[in-house]
């Protein structure tokens, strides 16, 4: 006896829950394979859309929620990249204010490197 073909709608719902869990856990490496499968399922649903409007609305709400998680994840990554850039900038120079309130920059000397010879 053959297994019944899984409903693409149910499969997509389960995939979206898995995507949500990966986003919340910060498992960004798991997202790319899920995206490929999600695209295939959405394409399949476009050819044979479900007739249950309530299911479609639920699916839409889940997709909107996941999109918000994606947006927040990207914002967090941008903030982290900015912070790393700021830390690198601080290693090279430091901005201070003098006694009159004017901003001044102090350049740090480059780190000394030891030349190694064989």
> What integer pLDDT is reported at residue 3 of this predicted model?
59
> What integer pLDDT is reported at residue 112 of this predicted model?
64
> What is the distance between the alpha carbons of residues 86 and 94, in angstroms, rounded to a whole number?
10
> What integer pLDDT is reported at residue 44 of this predicted model?
87
> What integer pLDDT is reported at residue 96 of this predicted model?
84
Dihedral sign of CA atoms 9, 11, 15, 17 in order? positive
> What integer pLDDT is reported at residue 88 of this predicted model?
78
Spans in the chain with pLDDT lower than 70: 1-3, 90, 110-114, 118
């Amino acid at each position: 006896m053959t297994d019944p073909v899984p409903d693409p709608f149910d499969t997509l719902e389960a995939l979206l829950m898995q995507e949500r869990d990966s986003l919340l856990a910060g498992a960004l490496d798991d997202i790319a394979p899920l995206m490929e499968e999600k695209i295939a399922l959405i394409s399949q649903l476009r050819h044979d859309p479900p007739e249950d409007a309530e299911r479609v609305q639920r699916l839409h709400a889940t997709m909107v929620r996941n999109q918000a998680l994606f947006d927040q994840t990207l914002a967090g990554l941008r903030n982290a990249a900015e912070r790393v850039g700021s830390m690198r900038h601080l290693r090279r120079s430091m901005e201070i204010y003098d006694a009159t309130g004017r901003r001044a920059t102090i350049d740090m000397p480059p780190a000394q490197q030891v030349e190694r010879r064989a």
